[in-house]
Amino acid sequence: SQQGEEDPQALSIQEGENATMNCSYKTSINNLQWYRQNSGRGLVHLILIRSNEREKHSGRLRVTLDTSKKSSSLLITASRAADTASYFCATDRKETSGSRLTFGEGTQLTVNP
């Protein structure tokens, strides 16, 4: 399986509910990032968490990182229809240099009004 696997592949919830997406990876990382992609658009960076951090918040987003389990989760609280998008995790692997990231396959989130 590939580095950076999101789970679930698809998630459908009602507006106002929380959405949780998970990401697993295989090798040691410098940081892990989450991106959003609206239909027909490019990816947009949401949040970055370093390998020595365990939790980070940004507005309605909460990201956790467990390096012992090589996993991360993205929580979107009080979801809105506008949150409907694909969400990707991306890892900055220690074995690669510079700015290269390894992207997962994404979770398609649908928030129903």
Partner 1 sequence: DAGVIQSPRHEVTEMGQEVTLRCKPISGHDYLFWYRQTMMRGLELLIYFNNNVPIDDSGMPEDRFSAKMPNASFSTLKIQPSEPRDSAVYFCASSLWTSGYNEQFFGPGTRLTVL
Please identify which residue in the block is written with the tokens 């027909």.
Answer: 40
From residue 16, how far is each of 5, 8, 71, 84, 106 by CA, in Å?
A: 26, 19, 26, 12, 22
For partner 1, the binding residues in 13-32 under the rule CB under 8 A are: 30-31
CB atoms within 10 A of CB 15: 14
Beta bridge partners, 92, equal: 31
For partner 1, the binding residues in 32-51 under the rule CB under 8 A are: 33, 41-45, 48, 50
- Tell me the per-residue interface mask from 75 to 104 with partner 1, x by CB under 8 A, - otherwise: -------------x-x-x-----xxxx-x-
Binding residues for partner 1, rule: CB under 8 A, are 30-31, 33, 41-45, 48, 50, 88, 90, 92, 98-101, 103, 105-106
